[in-house]
Amino acid sequence: MSQNCNTSLVLRKGAWTAEEDMLLKNCVENFGEGKWHLVPLRAGLNRCRKSCRLRWLNYLRPNIKRGDFDKDEVDLMLRLHKLLGNRWSLIAGRLPGRTANDVKNYWNTHLRSRLKQEKEKLKDGEQSEHTMVTVIKPQPRTISKTLNLYPHVTPHDTHNLVTSSNNDSIDNTFNISPNVVSSPTFVDKINGYLEELFDNEEKKIDDEVGWSFGLEAEGLDGVKQVDGQNSVFDLPMDEVVMLDLLY
DNA sequence: AAAACCTCCAACCGCCAAGCG
DNA sequence: TCGCTTGGCGGTTGGAGGTTT
Average pLDDT over residues A6-35: 83
What is the number of other CB atoms lying within 10 angstroms of the CB of residue A163? 19
Q: How confident is the model at residue A245 (pLDDT cuts 50, 70, 90)?
A: very low
CA of A6 to C1' of C3 (A): 22
User: Residue A82: which of A62, A107, A57, A59 has the closest Cα?
Assistant: A107
The answer to whether residues A95 and A217 belong to one domain is yes
Which strand C bases fall within 7 angstroms of a protein CB? 4-13
Q: What is the DSSP letter of A108?
A: I
Residues A90-122 pLDDT 10s: 999 989 889 999 999 999 888 877 776 666 666
Which pLDDT belongs to residue A197?
58
pTM listed for this prediction: 0.62
CA–CA separation, A170 and A220 (whole Å): 12
Q: What is the DSSP letter of A98?
A: -
Q: Is A61's pLDDT higher than 60?
A: yes
The answer to whether residues A50 and A76 belong to one domain is no
Which strand B bases fall within 7 angstroms of a protein CB? 7-18
Which pLDDT belongs to residue A119?
67
Structural domain range at position A37 = 18-60
Write out residues whose CB is closer than 7 A to strand B: A 3-6, 12-16, 47, 50-51, 54-55, 58-59, 101-102, 104-106, 108-110, 178-179, 182-183
CA of A57 to C1' of B17 (A): 20
Nucleotide nearest to A14 (CA to C1'): B11
Residue A163 near residue A178, CB atoms below 8 Å: no
User: Residue A177: which of A160, A194, A192, A190 has the closest Cα?
Assistant: A160
CA–CA separation, A63 and A221 (whole Å): 39
Residues A192-242 pLDDT 10s: 666 665 555 445 434 433 333 333 333 333 333 333 333 333 333 443 443
Phi first, then psi, for residue A142 (nearest 5°) are -105, 130
CA of A1 to C1' of B6 (A): 41
Helix/strand/coil percentages in chain A, nearest 5: 55, 0, 45
Which pLDDT belongs to residue A70?
87
Which pLDDT belongs to residue A35?
87
Total count of domains within chain A: 2
The answer to whether residues A97 and A170 belong to one domain is yes
Query: Would you say residue A5 lies in a domain?
Result: no
Query: Would you say residue A95 lies in a domain?
Result: yes
CA–CA separation, A186 and A152 (whole Å): 10
